[in-house]
Structure 1
Amino acid sequence: MGRIIRSCLQSLLKLVDLGIGMVGIAMILYSSWMLRVWQKNIGDSDFQPPWFIYTFLGLGITLCVITCSGHIAADTANGHCLSCYMTFVFLLVLLEAAVTADVFLNNNWEEDFPEDRTGRFDEFKDFVNSNFKICKWIASSIVAAQALSIFLAMILRALGPDHGSYYDSDDDYTPARVPLLRNQITHPPYVAYPHYALQNNAWNASASEKINS
């Protein structure tokens, strides 16, 4: 029963972690698209791409790395791997919470970010404001998935690895039977019984007498 529960938790953690990875891939694709549009519009000028493009790209790569580590931790159910995974996700949630609190509680929150001379960041803000409900649900879903992944990882870490899986085959029990086998008396491959030995000697003696005569 415990093995079934552990397997279900591992599958659920992989599923939730896969959703986080899909968000990371979407952020990487979106940042690549913005970078391509920026290069077409700017031409051969020496202007650097807007900072938020690199921010989107970095967050997307971070989410993909966390997803890979989450799949490894779920497969092995190792306490160290699960602890590292929970730490990464928790730090990411703290960063998201800090940015969200700064935006909603600080009226001059734009001063905390680097200056954008291209105006692309203003376009992004306008897009978020025009689709605020959709963006809010997406952000809430991401945070909920991250919190759920931490909760599932905590339960798996408390259950520990499945030691019973190492005893599925009979080969694993062989070392335990070796000392018993060593104590057993081994018989030689051929044992000559006295009765047959006497008959063989008599036959050999009669055969030699006939040859000599």
Structure 2
Amino acid sequence: MARMVRSCIQSLLKLINSMIGMVGIAMILYALWMIRVWHGHMDDSPFDAPAPWFIYTFLGLGVTLCVITLSGHVAAETANGCCLYCYMVFVFLLFMLEAAVTADVFLNDNWEEDFPEDSTGNLEDFKDFVKANFEMCKWIGLSIVSVQGLCMLLAMILKALGPHSERSYDSDDDYTPDRVPLLKNYVPTPYVVGDPVYGTKNASYVRINDKTNR
């Protein structure tokens, strides 16, 4: 029963974790499109513009989401405690970053001053798109946050369940029997220090019985 529950949670974590990867891929594609458009404008301009921080930030976030998705898939597959801890830390740090940016935008009226000037104009286009489709963007943002929280919850449950018991002994044949005495009903041979003892326990028991009968 526990094995079936663990397998279900692993599959569910992989499925939900893949949604984060899909968001990361979408951000990477959008950033590449912005880079292509920006380079097209730069070819027609005789002046050098500063680095498009907004585009590269978008690209970096997309790559980060893909890396987190990969680590989550590995953690779900292996159910290793260290991998699950690292995955939960990555998701938590991402959640804190999102919370900080969201709080700055909604609580600070001059939040644009906290960011460098965007020479490409893509930040303004992004703001206009969010304002024009605020309801849709709000639900998309809430869905992403909910997916991250659910991934952390499933990772915690999987960590509590522990790895598959049979996987812990996949490499039993690689070890000598004296290192795994509890497996396969193995009884280790005792080591003798000093003079060797001749005869077996049964033989000694027979001699004692013979003396007693006499």
* TM-score under structure 2 length normalisation: 0.77
Counterpart-to-counterpart distance in 1, 2:120 and 2:26 = 23
The alignment covers a number of residue pairs equal to: 180
- Conserved 8 A contact 2:13-2:155: yes
Report deviation, 1:67. Answer: 0.4
Q: 1:81-160 maps to which residues of 2 (within 5 A)?
A: 81-160=83-162
Is the 8 Å Cα contact of residues 88 and 155 (structure 2) preserved in structure 1?
Answer: yes
**Is 1:53 aligned with 2:93?**
no
Residue pair 2:28, 2:62 contacting (<8 A) in 1 also: yes
For residues 67-118 of structure 1, the C-alpha deviation after alignment (integer angstroms, 9 at most, x for no partner) is: 0000000011011110000000000000000100110011111111111234
**Cα distance in structure 1, aligned partners of 2:130 and 2:93:** 25
List alignment gaps of at least 5 residues for structure 1.
Answer: 182-213
AA paired with 1:16? I
Structure 2 counterpart of 1:69, one-letter code = S
**Amino acid paired to 1:48:** P
What is the aligned-residue identity percentage? Answer: 66
Counterparts in 2 of 1:159 and 1:178: CA distance versus 1, 3 Å: closer
Task: For 1:26, give the aligned amino acid.
Answer: A
Deviation by residue 1:96-152 (Cα, 9 ceiling, x = unmatched): 001001100111111111112343321211111111111111111111100000000
Query: SS of the counterpart of 2:76?
Result: helix
Matched with 1:80 is 82
2:118 is paired with a residue of what secondary structure? Answer: coil
Cα distance between partner residues in 2 of 1:122 and 1:47: 17
Classify the secondary structure of the residue corresponding to 1:107: coil
Q: Could you tell me whether the CA contact under 8 Å between 2:34 and 2:122 is conserved in 1? A: no
What is the root-mean-square deviation in Å for CA atoms of aligned residues?
2.3
TM-score after normalising by structure 1: 0.78
Question: 1:178 offset after TM fit, Å?
Answer: 6.0
**In structure 2, C-alpha distance between the alignment counterparts of 1:48 and 1:105, rounded to whole Å:** 29
> Which runs of 5 or more structure 2 residues have no equivalent in the other structure?
178-183, 190-214
Which is helix-richer, 1 or 2? 1
